[in-house]
Amino acid sequence: MTVPEPNTSEHAWSEEPTPVCPDDLSEGTWELLREEARRAMTKAYVPYSSYPVGAAGLVDDGRIVGGCNIENASFGVTLCAECSLVSDLFMSGGGRLVAFDCVDGDGNTLVPCGRCRQLLFEHGGDDLILNMPGGRSPMSVVLPEAFGPDHLSQARDAHSAKH
């Protein structure tokens, strides 16, 4: 009887951690992401909207992380699929997102809202490739001139220099 390794993901892009960059993205990789997004979508908790969403991201070490929307009767605390995905990213070891895909209940490609684009930028940067209804685009196109951690560190450094 073979016992599975305790820390291996069933949704790994590769068996061994393999550094991944946007140049490595093949159609097969995008198919894996789409499958994971659809799998994640089946886990969505959507008793109010009946609009399940699933998301998947490829991490720079080869892992695939996923997320789904999780609604709440107090709508303000509802979690979107992208937020759930970032939680999975950190729960499974952190890293940087390289590629991202998101689907609705019918498997159609969805566009991340502005809030989610900002969330994805923080964890993937300008080079993160997003599958959009009109094709694949880098985050630098999807969210041009994005606000991020560098802005905060520059402001902190400028403040420190004055005091």
Q: How far apart are CA 132 and CA 145, in angstroms?
A: 19
Average of per-residue pLDDT across 40-46: 98
Amino acid at 150: D
The domain ranges of the chain are 22-162
Cα–Cα distances (Å) from 85 to 41, 46, 66, 120, in that order, read 11, 16, 5, 9
First to last CA, the chain: 65
Cα 161 from Cα 163, distance rounded (Å): 6
Read off the pLDDT band of 8 (50, 70, 90). Answer: very low
What are 45's strand-pairing partners? 70
| Catalytic residue IDs | 82
pTM over 0.95: no
Residue 5's SS3 state is coil
Q: Cβ(53)–Cβ(104) under 8 Å? A: yes
Minimum mean pLDDT among 14-28, 54-68, 73-87: which range? Answer: 14-28
Binned at pLDDT 50, 70 and 90, residue 43 comes out as very high
- Mapped onto helix, strand or coil, the DSSP state of residue 99 is strand
Q: What is the CATH number of domain 22-162?
A: 3.40.140.10
